[in-house]
Structures are given as structure tokens and as C-alpha cells.
Structure 1
Amino acid sequence: MSKEGSFKKMQVLIIGAGFAGSVVARELAEAEHQILVVDRRNHIAGNACDVKDSHDILIHQYGPHIFHTNSERIFNYLSQFTEWRPYEHRVRGVVDGKEYPFPINRDTLNQLYDLDLDEQGAADFFEKVREPKAQVKSSEDVVLNSVGRDLYEKFFLNYTKKQWGLDPSELKAGVAARIPTRTNSDDRYFTDTYQAMPSDGYTAMFENILKHPNIQVQLATDYKDWLKQDRQYDHVVYTGCIDEFYDCRFGKLPYRSLRFEHQHLADTEHYQSVGTVNYPNDFDFTRITEFKHLTGQQHPVTSIVREYPTAEGEPYYPIPRDENEVLFKKYKALADEEKNVTFVGRLAEYRYYNMDQVVGAALNAVDKILEKK
């Protein structure tokens, strides 16, 4: 096409160097377009950024990121940029000072209630204690409908209050629907076909994604300052908060943030038995993650992180409530009118995406951009 003169190379500005921005950048660069990626932070990889701490332990700066997907396409796509370390994430929930498998499974029931249930017995137990809901509208409805009130109060109620600053009855059903209930003894947090961690870490994978002669990266740069320089771009890809793009003209969209308390334990080889331990009813933090479980590092010492949900700070989670969706749709209506701006990612689409879903959304966005040109 380019030899015939019908192919026009675009100058594309991509705002954000996380999954959405980096994948779009790579695909458009492969299509021979010129890409500038800017990010207000001083690093690539967005919230998936990992670094070696001062004790040589690879840590996730913004809390644990566990890759899992059922999509062969997305797994194979990312496999161009990283080798993988197989890893199946396991979580425990602490109730009355004791650890139990979470998500709730047969072993959770047997240990918690001193029972000896087989799979059918676990199914019968859930059926007996569940509170059937004619209409499942909220996260509270989902859990009560599935496991009943006692398990709801022990594992879900207070954790949700801490995590979201809201009662489960105030959150859309999809939040709790992400967490399964099992009648077998499968204690993996995820059951996806592909479960693995980038063998050299996420940041190294992002470096490979962005390593292309048609891609330039500018860090510690606010995109609004860049646009003020009156530079001309054929297309802009925006991965930040959609309300911020429009100067919050309809009001701020609510997001939930996190404060991370990293700690190095100089005299401990392993702090806990699994990657993450939830504390639904105790402390101000929701969970503790020990990174060596995730990364497979062999080291005589260890590093952990505690997560404290907050209302203020960097936006991490769109808050799934009907009134927030109504506000988002006002911004989306503006975005839909844009001719040369694409909005993609968790913050730009106000969607509680997993990492693989962001990659899928980015690949779909590229297809739409290229169709237009």
C-alpha cells in the first residue's frame, strides 16, 4: 500500500504507558505509524510496574498483579514479549485468627465447621444455608444467594466495606460475582486455562513491548502540558480517567484508591504459606502479599506489602454502582463524538477490567483505529 502512495503514516500520541497504551503503541508501530507514548509517572508498565527493592527482592509497587486468562489469543500475544513462569495463585482468609482456603471450598467448610463433607455434602450444605434471591441486584444478594449469611459475614461483609468504603448492598452484583464458590477442594484463586507470571517481571515485558523504532516514550510528562505545545497528531489514544480528560465538567467519577505499606523482613525467609492472605475482619488493611510466592525468587529474606484502601489518591478501581454508570455515560457520550481520540482501558472506559481484558480491549481498539484510516 505504501508503495502506491495510499498509505498515510499517522503521528499518534498515546497517553499512558500501562497495558492499554503499550499494546496499542506496539500494534500501531508495527503498522508503520509513528508513536509517542507519554506517562505522568516516571516509569512504564502502569500499575503492573515491578522493581527490585533495596534488598534485591522483586516487588510489585502497586500491589499484586497475577496474570490469568482463558484467551489463547491474548496469552500468545504477550508471549512475544516474555517467557513465563507457571504460577497458580492461592489465597487464605483469616477468620477468628485462623486461616482458611479462599475462595470458599469444601475444605473451608470442613475446617471452619468441623465437618467431613464430600463434594455432594458441600453442595447440600450450600443449598441449606443459602438465602435465595428472586432478583440478584447487589453484591450482598450474590453472596447470600450462594453461601448464606454466616459465611457472608465471616469472609465478605467487612472485607467489602474496607475495600470499597461501601456496604455490599450498595455495590453492583458483578463485584462479588468475580469470586466463585466451590464444592471441591480446588484452592486456586483462579481456574483460568493460562496462569503464569512474566519470568523476568512485568516491567521487563513492557520494555520489550515498547522496544520498536517507531515508538518514543516520554516519562514524567503530563499529557496536557504536551498538548499545550501545539503539536499536531493524527490520532490520540487516551488511557487515563475519562472525566479528567473533559476537566470533570459533569463532576468527578468516583474511584477507589489504595495505600501500600511495603515492608522488608530481614530475618524471615517466608512470611506466609501462600501469596496472599486476606484479613476481612481485622486491621485497617485488607490483605498481605508476599512477593516471593509470585515471582519464584529464591532468597533467604523476604518482602511483603499491606494494602490499605482509601477514598483519596491514585485512581485504581472504578466503583461499580448504578449512579456512577449514569455519570460515566455522560462522559462516554462526549467520547463517542470524538473523531480522532480513542479511549481504552480500565480508567478510560470506567470498567473493572482484569489485565487480560485490558489487552483484549487494546487489540480491539487498534482494529477500529486502523479501519478508520
Structure 2
Amino acid sequence: MPTITLQTALAAQPYDYLIVGAGFAGSVLAERLSAGLGKRILLIDRREHIGGNAYDHLDAAGVLVHRYGPHIFHTNAQRIVDYLSRFTEWRPYEHRVLAQVDGHLLPIPINLTTLNILYAQSMNEAQAEAFLASRAEPVATIHTSEDVVINQVGRELYEKFFRGYTRKQWGLDPSELDKSVTARVPTRTTTDDRYFTDAFQIMPLHGYTQMFERMLEHPAIDVLLATDFSTVRELLRYRELVYCGPIDEYFGHCYGKLPYRSLRFQHETHDHECFQPVAVVNYPHPAVPYTRITEYKHLTGQTHPLTSISYEFPCADGDPYYPIPRPENAELYKRYRALADQTPGVTFLGRLGTYKYYNMDQVVGQALALYQRIAREAGVEVEQHVAEPG
């Protein structure tokens, strides 16, 4: 996939679309608009690579790693798999996570095995259900992440598995966070130790970056990297803009900054084949400064005499990763959304453009849904129906 220089982009005839952000949202839309509607696209990104946070590459040791932490693809949508399968083959992968608690490595989400090891029991499923019911502390109206967990499993398991991890991840106590944060994590009384239960749990066979490269091969797509939109927004010529960056940044933070959590990674290579038994081990104890360790060979299936890992440290400053789900932040976003609705010729897309945490498949669905609307407005029948994510 060739890239162009800024001089080439400035000398080009006006593009049909300028798309800011070469992650899933921007790349999928660029591919569809060029291949489906014959539009000329300029895709730009402030980073020096495509793929957004899903970017993977060979490190100095030759191990395939995810630079921005583990990205595990899972979905229930056949249409999303069908679309991405145009650009990649797949390998099956079921994600399993362990948590370091009380000297044990225990399955998370909490399941029957977790309970039996932690409490030195040999409960069956029915006994585990009764055990959790006896520990649960019913909450009349669930508002916060703390409410969700205590209502399900009680305070002791909440303290052991959730509170410390959540405080590190978000910089806030679970009692200060919307219920959606912990509602994503189920509790099971079976021995199912998979982190996800989606119908499709797969990883790109040769990595995400190669998938993006194939997605952006169309000759009508120009890719310009290491370019900040703010420095070229008055220079480039285009008819329509799709902005996948932070919506508040587009408007100069005129109402103030939308709060995000960021991440810092400490990458290491070790002189042995395996570091830990699964791809991800969580460290919920508040005394441990990082939230998790990822070993990438579990994700990629790569065979290599060495192994590479990353320690993950959530932080307040840095690239925006996670919109912080609190009511006042949702209200601030609504103000920016109202500005966006009054801005002709600009469409906001993706996690940052819509200030919402989407899984990768949901971002693909959002981009395909936007393409569908654009195609219909142009009087073109699209080959598939893709609903917007919820």
C-alpha cells in the first residue's frame, strides 16, 4: 500500500472525501466509498502508520505485537465477518483471561472454577448459584458500576476482582462510574472460562496491519501519514469531510475537553518461549501499578523461540483511548454533537468522533452503515444491509 507526500496531496485535484483517521472507521469507509461508489479519497492520520490502535508489527526480536495493547476480534455479526474476510484469512482464537487474586491465577469473568479454587470448595453449578445468591447484596436501583457488581456477587468478590482494577483503569472509584463499565463483564456458575461468548471469535491470520493494507489498496485511495489535520485543514481541497478524530478537538475544545483515559505500555522481550499461561493476566490488587500483562504469541499463534509482552498502565494523559462514562461527560458530548449537527459537509465517525466505546466489529458496522446511507443518497443500491451498532 503506497503512501503519498503532503506536496502530492496539495497538488491533487479536489478529493471527493477527506477522511481523518486511518483506523477501522476511516479505513472501512475509504474502501467502501472508493470500491463501491468510485470516489476519490484522501485518508490521513497523525500517526506514522495505518490501523489505528489495532496496528500490529514485528518488534526488534521478530515477534508480532500489538503496539497499543491486545485487540481481540469477536462478533455475532456474520455480515461483518463476510466483509472483513475480503481482506484477510482468519485463525480461530478463544480469549481466556486469568486474574492474580490471593496468590492464585483465577478465571475472569468469575466462574465455577474461580469460586472453587478461591474458596477451596467443590461446588456444582446449582451450589455456586446458591453461594453467589447468599453473598449478593441487592441494590434497589442500579446506577453505578459498584451497584452492578455488589448486586450480583456481593462486596467481598467486588473488592477482590473489580474495585482495584476499575480504580486503576479509570482513575475513579466504581461508585463514580456509570453502570455500563462493569455490566459488560458477566458472572458464570459454569466452567465456561471464555472471556467472550460471541459466535465468531477469530484473529486475522497475518495480523491486523496486513488486513488494513489490503483494505486500502484501491487506486482511488491516497494515504497521507504523519499528518495532523489541524495543520492542513485549510490547505487540502475536498468536497466532503469524515472526521474520525476527537469531536471536541475538531471544534477547538470550545466547550472544554471531553475526558478520556489513556494507556502507557511497557514492552519487553524475554528469552524463553512462554511467559504466562494465557494471553492476558489481570492484576486487580491496588498495590500493583499496572492492570494487566499481555503475551502476544497466544493471540497471533506465532511460533518463536522468544516471547514479547506488555505491561499496561492506565493514565490520565496521552492518546485518547476510553471515553469516561459519567453523566456530565455525556452532557458535554451532547453540546458538541449539537455543534456537529449544525456543521455542513462534515460527518463524525468512530469511537472518538462519537465519544462512545465501540468494539472493533461495532466500528466496522458503524462505517458500513454510513456508507449505506451515502450510497442510497446517491441512488446506488448497496449489496448488503448493515444496521448501526446499538
Give the structure 2 partner of residue 246 of structure 1: 251
Q: Distance in 1 between matches of 2:83 and 2:316?
A: 35
Letter in 2 for 1:206: F
Give the structure 2 partner of residue 59 of structure 1: 65
* Matched positions, count: 363
Give the structure 2 partner of residue 272 of structure 1: 276
- For residues 220-259 of structure 1, what are the alpha-carbon distances to aligned partners after superposition, in whole Å with 9 as ceiling and x for unaligned? 0111222221x33221010010000000000000000000
Give the structure 2 partner of residue 259 of structure 1: 264
- For residues 118-153 of structure 1, what are the alpha-carbon distances to aligned partners after superposition, in whole Å with 9 as ceiling and x for unaligned? 111111111111111111111001111111111000
Letter in 2 for 1:273: P
Query: 1:1-373 to 2 correspondence within 5 Å?
Result: 11-30=16-35, 31-229=37-235, 231-266=236-271, 268-281=272-285, 282-373=287-378
The normalised TM-score by structure 1 is 0.96
- For residues 294-334 of structure 1, what are the alpha-carbon distances to aligned partners after superposition, in whole Å with 9 as ceiling and x for unaligned? 00011111000000000000100000000000000000001
Q: Distance in 2 between matches of 1:93 and 1:323?
A: 32
Q: Distance in 2 between matches of 1:286 and 1:76?
A: 34
Say which SS state the counterpart of residue 73 (structure 1) adopts.
helix
Q: Distance in 2 between matches of 1:368 and 1:329?
A: 23
Say which SS state the counterpart of residue 34 (structure 2) adopts.
helix
More divergent stretch after superposition (196-205 vs 336-345): 336-345
Say which SS state the counterpart of residue 99 (structure 1) adopts.
strand
Q: Distance in 2 between matches of 1:10 and 1:271?
A: 48
More divergent stretch after superposition (117-126 vs 63-72): 117-126
Q: Distance in 2 between matches of 1:217 and 1:226?
A: 14
- Answer whether contact 2:145 2:175 (CA < 8 A) is retained: yes
Q: Distance in 2 between matches of 1:59 and 1:284?
A: 22
Q: Distance in 1 between matches of 2:377 and 2:345?
A: 9
Letter in 2 for 1:16: G
- For residues 334-366 of structure 1, what are the alpha-carbon distances to aligned partners after superposition, in whole Å with 9 as ceiling and x for unaligned? 111222111111111110111011101111111
Q: Distance in 1 between matches of 2:209 and 2:319?
A: 19
Cα drift, residue 372 of structure 1: 3.8
Say which SS state the counterpart of residue 288 (structure 2) adopts.
coil
Q: Distance in 2 between matches of 1:24 and 1:232?
A: 19
- Answer whether contact 1:342 1:365 (CA < 8 A) is retained: no
Q: Distance in 2 between matches of 1:131 and 1:73?
A: 41
Structure 2 segments unaligned to the other structure (5+ residues): 1-13, 379-390
Name the % identity: 57
Letter in 2 for 1:272: Q
Q: Distance in 2 between matches of 1:77 and 1:122?
A: 41
Letter in 1 for 2:326: R
Say which SS state the counterpart of residue 223 (structure 2) adopts.
strand
Q: Distance in 1 between matches of 2:223 and 2:297?
A: 30
- Answer whether contact 2:100 2:281 (CA < 8 A) is retained: yes
Root-mean-square deviation (CA), in Å? Answer: 1.1
Letter in 1 for 2:103: G
Letter in 1 for 2:292: R
Q: Distance in 1 between matches of 2:222 and 2:81?
A: 25
Letter in 2 for 1:289: T
Cα drift, residue 78 of structure 1: 0.6
The normalised TM-score by structure 2 is 0.91
Say which SS state the counterpart of residue 14 (structure 1) adopts.
strand
Structure 1 segments unaligned to the other structure (5+ residues): 1-8
Q: Distance in 1 between matches of 2:20 and 2:57?
A: 22
- Answer whether contact 1:255 1:311 (CA < 8 A) is retained: yes
Q: Distance in 2 between matches of 1:81 and 1:339?
A: 33
Letter in 2 for 1:121: Q
Q: Distance in 2 between matches of 1:122 and 1:214?
A: 58
Cα drift, residue 10 of structure 1: 6.5
Q: Distance in 2 between matches of 1:164 and 1:115?
A: 33
Q: Distance in 2 between matches of 1:211 and 1:135?
A: 51
Q: Distance in 2 between matches of 1:224 and 1:311?
A: 23
Cα drift, residue 115 of structure 1: 1.1
